Amino acid sequence: MEPMKGRLAGRRAVITGAGTGIGHASALRFAAEGAQLVLAGRRRDKVEATAKAVRAAGGKAVALALDAGQEADVVTMVDTCVSEYGDIDIFFANAATAIGHVSIFDQTPEQWHEVLRVNLIGPFLAIKHAGARMRARGTGAILITSSIASLRGNSGSDAAYDASKAAVNSLVYSGAHTMAGTAVRVNAVLPGLIETEGAKPLFDLARARDPQARIEIGTLRRHGEPDELATVAAFLCSDEASYITGQTIAVDGGVTAIHPTARRPGR
């Protein structure tokens, strides 16, 4: 890796949910593109492993075992980025949680509070604290992980998760408006079916039925990999996306591009 030659060369970035899946892949991609990183996650072992992988590849990373839905922790993430690297240019609010495959009739208000705290309040705190510094300087990028589950029902996720991600999309629009008159951009990526720890039960079920099973979904008729999402995230946080803000961009292999249909014979 030559970290000062990429599209994020010299940028100072915070990534939450950095211990696994999309966050882990994005940390490696952002570092390869030249970013200096503060990596946050609730599982110390996981986030430290991601930071170690970044450093082993020649990048710079600080690992913090913090909660993206707690205001004091988000302040610490931003302050750490400023103290370590001089300022903050990027905040990728990627951390998320879900109730799981539980009927809405069996879900509790406490479970909903936790999902909304992490999935919605967390990104709000990123805009509040990282966005304030960026707005004062007039430049920066905030990216939030939403989901295609925010767009339609029956996504396979729980209702709390779906609702929280729909609210994230609205927050992106409001956040972009808040930054009007500056070059601070606020966007969201909407992953489709990506093979991460969160989607593991689905993949395990399919492979238990057939070890060679291939989940055919979307127009590409396959699931996605974390690296594919990380590549889009890096682009959206770079100057190459300087005219993109207030957008919710699906990275889903074409799932949201088509109406559900029966497979035609011979196709």
Span 95-135, pLDDT tens digits: 999 998 899 999 999 999 999 999 999 999 999 999 999 99
Average pLDDT, the chain: 89
Burial class (CB in 10 A: 0-12, 13-18, 19+), 83: exposed
pLDDT at residue 205 above 80?
no
Locate the domains of the chain by residue range. 12-196+225-253
Q: What is the CA radius of gyration of the chain?
A: 18
The CATH superfamily label for domain 12-196+225-253 reads NAD(P)-binding Rossmann-like Domain (3.40.50.720)
CA distance 124 to 138: 19
- pLDDT at res. 139: 98
Name the catalytic one among 85, 161, 173, 243: 161
Q: Is 161 a catalytic residue?
A: yes
User: What is the residue-wise DSSP string for 4-36?
Assistant: TSSTTTT-EEEEESTTSHHHHHHHHHHHHTT-E
SS3 49: helix
Percentage of the residues of the chain whose pLDDT score is greater than 90: 76
CA distance 133 to 137: 7
Q: What's the token pair of residue 110?
A: 């406490």
